[in-house]
Structure 1
Amino acid sequence: MTDRLPRIGVLGIMQALYDHMIPGITERQAGYAQEVADRLGGIAEFVVGPPVKSRADAERVMRGFENDELDGVLVVMLTYGPAMRVARLFNENRLPVCLANIQPEPSVTPAWDMADMTYNQGIHGAQDTANAMVRAGRAFDVVTEDWNTDAFVHRIDRWARAARAITAWRSLRIGVFGYAMNDMGDIRVDENALLRALGPEIGFIAPGDLWRGMAQVPADAVSELMGWEDGRFAVDSALSAEEREDHARMQLAIESILTNRGCLAYSTHFDAIGEDGRFSRLPLAAASSLMAKGYGYGAEGDALAAAMVYAGHQLVGRGHFTEMYAMDFPTDSILMSHMGEGNWEVARSDEPVRLIKRSLGIGKLDDPPTFLFRIQPGPATLASLVSLGGEKFRLVVSEGEVLDSQPLPALEMPYGQFRPATGLRRCMDGWLTAGGTHHMVMNLGHRAEDWRVFCSLAGIEYHPV
């Protein structure tokens, strides 16, 4: 779901005034805008609009970007351009915006004449344009760099991925099978406020739909999935054919329901499945494989966590649902795990992912097939979306590393030990003080800056700990 490159429009702004001063300036600066897009060609697909010099020009180009369903708009000042010509446009614009504060030449030299001054005077147009967006209360990102450098490409790459994630998030539908876990407070959110402020929509799906969906799964699809698992994982010989077939039917039925309802993220709660009375086991392995395919997931009816895992897929890739299980003070780390759901795409590369027969009393059902793996050691980042009431949201983020820690033979679910860069004590003090939730998304790599840009575009308070 995240294989495609972001699709970005380039809005080049200039003044008609300069056409009389410097004949050919429009063609020259249009070429500059195309050169910038070509420089960035490996990170996104760019649609370069013609230089805009009036309100009508700008609104026409922006309408084209929106109609083409692009992920974002990169604004490049080709010369100075008065912001009043784009003020209404940016007030109404729905696409994520990055203001590239760049100029054709990286340095001022004694050889410059008035034409060179004009070609390179975008900085005060950027100030005027940024002021218009600030007055409109619109979220946007800014990148000030020499456009010929790798640093520029890296920063625009980060913004373009964030724009893709935000655009996908705004149309996200989350299916909650059954209901959310009773009395669990930090997963609660005003669904209307979430939809208005950020875009994700929550819908509820009756467990009966899953039961009927399982009955409709073709036998050859079940066999195909089981055969694929045999070739991809170390499958426990203790798992019976009945257990595996039941798991496969649940996974295929869940995905079919999500597809039919336009949902790219979901949640199941063990009580909603167990209390229904028709199911034999919980769909834990299904959650792992669907996350690996790019679906967002949150346990126990947690739609916020499901939305965050989906955002993690779109922003970085390989979003992994997890929670903080216990603190390990000697290693300054936190044991990360959950009941059995975890994205096996983040598993250690030197150990096989196992599909095991596993006893689990939660849900009061039969043994659920479960994926067991340890998380790949190395840099990692945790992110938790906090509902502050109304349309205010906060993202609590912690960078650190997954340790190459000891195996825990009795732990029959995905796990790893995360050591925060700020230390266990400081991180947890900050996490709790900020209201960080107990369900979260983990991504491999140091990704705090990616989440900061995501927040700047979404209008979410960014809170690193």
Structure 2
Amino acid sequence: MPLPTPPAAAHAPVGTRAPRIGLLGIMQPLYDDMIPGITEHQAAYAGRVAEKLSGVAEWTVAPPVRGRADAERAMRAFEDADLDGVLVVMLTYGPSLRVTRMFGGARLPIALANIQPDPAVSPSWDMDDMTYNQGIHGAQDTANAMVRAGLPFEVVTGEWQSPEFAGRIDRWARAARAVTALRGLRVGVFGYPMNGMGDARVDESSLLRKLGPEVEVIAPGSLHRTMAEIPGEEVADLMAWEDGAFEVDGRLSKEEREDHARMQLGIERLLEERGAGAYSTHFDAIGEDGRFARLPMAAASTLMAKGYGFAGEGDVLAASIVYAGHQLAGDGHFTEMYAMDFPSDSVLMSHMGEGNWRIAREDEPVRLIKRPLGIGGLDDPPTIVFRYRPGPATLASLVFLGGEDFRLVVAEGEVIDAPGLPSLEMPYGQFRPETGVRSCMDAWLRSGGTHHMVMNTGARAEDWKVLCSLAGIEYVRV
């Protein structure tokens, strides 16, 4: 069945909107006397490149850069426009020292497109054609300047009119969107993190400096007060939407559903007010507070489906990478490895009740159930239950190594069409790594992969690799 669309929020995260990219074309005045009109000629070429790539991003094309002042002015305009990244195109040869200062202070992810107007050298070429197509040595000079500046950047060489080139730019643009979104991310943590869980701990200053996410601790009392302020009509609207979106368990009382709905709406309101695109709750922080009747399980599932990052147990690293998964590939899903199934060469994936139902199988209903749960010591939490959709999938775990060092551990594979587990009242599925359970788990553990992670549908390892390159963190594929 088609997956439902959650009610819109006033300030919902950007989700999977098209990347917004600036195109910076570089040349120099040297050729103006030799080829009158060359600036306009190459500006038109830059416009054709942007038009050809209109299906992968929204483009802002700067006037051709012909000197240092032009370059720095164009980059400031891109940054002021809140773009996600900058694609540099050599319109002719351009001396790198005219853009070195600009790249040294660049705040947006950069890609260097090593392209030229014509795909082939032709016997009909004259000196004008040579000049129009001489971007390669400008790319070399410019790339050298970026390397010497210590600037992470991506390089894409190819025929700019080809599908392969568009595919690589699409991958880079989505990675740029994710990196830029991380740099502005705020993660709300309700209460405190789980005691003793070491792989989720991170130096918040290091995280902020290296990747950008800022941690905002939100007192449970704020949630309790906000829940009480939610208008009754908003609660009724959410429940009515759930009636149409899910198969709702008849055992759920009106009181249970209203309390859950108030909790979901309260969490979302606080995230909007605090400017947070991701959050984490810990069952003890909610349970020990004494003012809540149940844990916000169903809330986490629908807020993930709306584009928020989420992780359990106060895990800021996992919440951040789930958010990045939304930006990079869409439908980021929080999960963990529960148990290995050696006969099927797969791992049972789940968590105690939270999951992005946008990755659910389409041949089974997504259910909202009354579900007993001893963890937290509270009343039964309404829980959204589904099985993962079979097909290609990718796992990614963000690892803090100390200091300014981070690593992303990535595994590609597939969700297999395994038999159902009728007694498992949680979102779940079985993931078969492409390298096999034994090899994948050996490498995952040796690499320090955490027990919380993001799952995305599709083969996304190369997407994550580009993100790591732009963010300046280590990439390990297992």
User: TM-score over 0.5 for the alignment?
Assistant: yes
1:377 aligned residue = 390
1:85-124 matches, within 5 Å, as 85-124=98-137
1:280 aligned residue = 293
- In the TM superposition, residue 165 of structure 1 has moved relative to its aligned partner by 1.2
1:420 aligned residue = 433
Q: 1:213 aligns with which of 212, 221, 226?
A: 226
Q: 2:181 aligns with which of 155, 168, 173?
A: 168
1:331 aligned residue = 344
The letter for the 1-side match of 2:82 is E
- In the TM superposition, residue 117 of structure 1 has moved relative to its aligned partner by 1.4
Question: What SS does the aligned partner of 1:142 have?
Answer: strand
The letter for the 1-side match of 2:111 is C
Q: 2:311 aligns with which of 298, 316, 321?
A: 298
2:4 aligned residue = none
CA contact (8 A) 2:19 2:57 kept: yes
CA contact (8 A) 2:388 2:415 kept: yes
Matches of 2:276 and 2:24, distance apart in 1: 32
CA contact (8 A) 2:334 2:455 kept: yes
- In the TM superposition, residue 44 of structure 1 has moved relative to its aligned partner by 1.1
1:186-335 matches, within 5 Å, as 186-335=199-348
Query: Please, which runs of 5 or more residues in structure 2 have no aligned partner?
Result: 1-13
1:17 aligned residue = 30
1:399 aligned residue = 412
Pair 1:51 & 2:64 matched: yes
2:138 aligned residue = 125
Matches of 1:371 and 1:400, distance apart in 2: 25
The letter for the 2-side match of 1:444 is T
1:75-86 matches, within 5 Å, as 75-86=88-99
Pair 1:455 & 2:475 matched: no
Instruction: Name segments (4+ residues, structure 1) moved above 4 Å.
Output: none
1:437 aligned residue = 450
Pair 1:347 & 2:379 matched: no
The letter for the 2-side match of 1:318 is D
- In the TM superposition, residue 2 of structure 1 has moved relative to its aligned partner by 2.2
Matches of 2:474 and 2:202, distance apart in 1: 16
CA contact (8 A) 2:16 2:330 kept: no
Cα deviation digits, residues 170-200 of structure 1 (max 9, x gap): 1100000000100000000000110011100
- In the TM superposition, residue 3 of structure 1 has moved relative to its aligned partner by 4.3
Pair 1:28 & 2:41 matched: yes
Question: What SS does the aligned partner of 1:375 have?
Answer: coil
Q: 2:402 aligns with which of 389, 409, 415?
A: 389
Question: What SS does the aligned partner of 2:431 have?
Answer: strand
Matches of 2:332 and 2:222, distance apart in 1: 27
Matches of 1:54 and 1:222, distance apart in 2: 58
The letter for the 2-side match of 1:396 is V
Pair 1:6 & 2:14 matched: no
Q: 1:368 aligns with which of 381, 393, 396?
A: 381
Cα deviation digits, residues 2-43 of structure 1 (max 9, x gap): 242211111100121111222221111111100000000121
Question: What SS does the aligned partner of 2:470 have?
Answer: helix
Question: What SS does the aligned partner of 2:32 have?
Answer: helix
Question: What SS does the aligned partner of 2:33 have?
Answer: helix
Cα deviation digits, residues 299-338 of structure 1 (max 9, x gap): 0000111111111111111000000000001111000000
The letter for the 1-side match of 2:303 is L
Question: What SS does the aligned partner of 1:84 have?
Answer: helix
Matches of 1:393 and 1:310, distance apart in 2: 17
Matches of 1:169 and 1:217, distance apart in 2: 30
2:161 aligned residue = 148
Cα deviation digits, residues 55-93 of structure 1 (max 9, x gap): 111111111111111111110000111111101100001
Matches of 1:60 and 1:111, distance apart in 2: 38
**Distance change >3 Å, CA 329–CA 265, structure 1 → 2:** same
Matches of 1:407 and 1:299, distance apart in 2: 24
The letter for the 1-side match of 2:257 is R
- In the TM superposition, residue 107 of structure 1 has moved relative to its aligned partner by 1.0
Question: What SS does the aligned partner of 1:186 have?
Answer: helix
Matches of 2:285 and 2:55, distance apart in 1: 46
Q: 2:82 aligns with which of 69, 85, 88?
A: 69
Matches of 1:421 and 1:201, distance apart in 2: 34
The letter for the 2-side match of 1:435 is G
Q: Say which is worse superposed, 158-167 or 440-449, in terms of deviation.
A: 158-167
Query: Please, which runs of 5 or more residues in structure 1 have no aligned partner?
Result: none
Q: Normalization by structure 1: what TM-score?
A: 0.99
Cα deviation digits, residues 342-386 of structure 1 (max 9, x gap): 000100000000001111111111111101100000000000000
- In the TM superposition, residue 109 of structure 1 has moved relative to its aligned partner by 2.1
